Amino acid sequence: MRKIVTPVDIAVLFGKSRRQASRILASVRKELGKKPHHKITVTEFAAYFGISTQEIEDIIFFNDN
C-alpha cells in the first residue's frame, strides 16, 4: 500500500483535473513547509483537509488496481 499522495489521487478524491490537483498538492506542500521535491504522506494530507486516512487509502487502493 502506498503512503504517498499523488495528483491523480487528489483528482479522483475532489473531482478535479490533474492540473488543479497538482496545484492543490503544491499548496499543501507549501503550507506544511516542505520543498517542491518533498512528498506528502496520506497522514499529512488527511490532517490538512480533515479527512480520515481510511478514505484516502481506499481511493489510492482503488486507483492502483
Cell of 39: 512528498
pLDDT in tens, 17-33: 999 999 999 999 999 99
**Confidence label for 16 from pLDDT (cuts 50, 70 and 90):** very high
Cell of 25: 498538492
- How much of the chain, in percent, has pLDDT values that exceed 70? 98
What is the spatial distance between Cα 65 and Cα 61, in angstroms, rounded to a whole number? 7
Give the per-residue pLDDT at 22: 97
**Confidence label for 60 from pLDDT (cuts 50, 70 and 90):** confident
- Taking all residues of the chain, what is their mean pLDDT, rounded to a whole number? 93
Give the per-residue pLDDT at 17: 97
DSSP 38: S
